[in-house]
């Protein structure tokens, strides 16, 4: 369970989320909706501890995976290095990926397509067990097969008691999710 108590997140002095009180139970997908610049990523960064809350508290936060929409760091040259780095960081091990990346494990990132890079980033979710997934635009760049794998992976994660908080411009992908609106239309 993830509990937010009067949580206020700001970025560069602008309030992105004000006095959010919410309990996110195990088995939940929470979709963050809103236009670009409305605060979805800042809110995720706050949940990950990368932005200090202006007020309020985040309690009962389980261990998490943070999947940013940012590019892969250039110091990690291949998918194999990237996954090994995250396995060591998270206390797990890089194993089989449901995203079918074995053929590109030793290919330099600069030779991979956007979709291939996204599949590698998503494969990071498999290196260790974390109950909370904080995912920023996880479906970007994926083809139909990659998208189907992502949807199946998130469904399996939540069916097993995990929580997925997803910032996305494609909320229709998770029609039964709880939602939180940012920007225009926010309550």
- Alpha carbon 62 to its chain centroid, in Å, reads 14
Q: Render pLDDT for 121-131 as a digit per residue (tens, 0 to 9).
A: 999 999 998 99
pLDDT band (50, 70, 90) for residue 167: very high
pTM of the shown model: 0.92
Buried b (16+ CB within 10 A) or exposed e, 145-171: ebbebbeebbeebbeeebbbbbbbeee
Q: Which tens digits make up the pLDDT trace of 92-128?
A: 888 789 999 999 999 999 999 999 999 999 999 999 9
Q: Which domain holds residue 125?
A: 2-181
Tally of domains within the chain: 1
In a domain, 187, yes or no: no
- Could you tell me the CATH number of the domain that includes residue 19? 3.40.50.300
Average pLDDT in the 61-85 region?
87
Integer Cα distance of 105 and 56 in angstroms: 42
Position 59 pLDDT exceeds 90: no
């Amino acid at each position: 369970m993830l509990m937010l108590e009067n949580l206020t997140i700001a970025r560069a002095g602008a309030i992105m989320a004000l006095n959010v009180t919410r309990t996110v139970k195990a088995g939940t997908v929470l979709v963050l909706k809103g236009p670009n610049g409305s605060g979805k990523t800042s809110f995720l960064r706050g949940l990950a501890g990368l932005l200090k809350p202006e007020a309020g508290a985040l309690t009962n936060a389980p261990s998490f995976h943070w999947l940013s929409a940012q590019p892969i760091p250039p110091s990690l040259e291949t998918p194999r290095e990237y996954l090994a780095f995250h396995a060591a960081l998270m206390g797990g091990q890089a194993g089989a990926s449901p995203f079918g990346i074995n053929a590109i494990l030793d290919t330099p990132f600069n030779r991979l397509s956007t979709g291939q890079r996204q599949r590698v980033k998503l494969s990071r979710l498999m290196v260790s067990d974390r109950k909370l997934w904080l995912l920023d635009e996880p479906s970007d760049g994926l083809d139909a097969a990659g998208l189907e794998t992502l949807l199946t992976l998130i469904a399996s994660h939540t069916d097993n008691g995990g929580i997925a908080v997803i910032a996305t411009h494609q909320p229709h992908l998770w029609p039964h999710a709880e939602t939180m609106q940012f920007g225009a239309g926010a309550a």
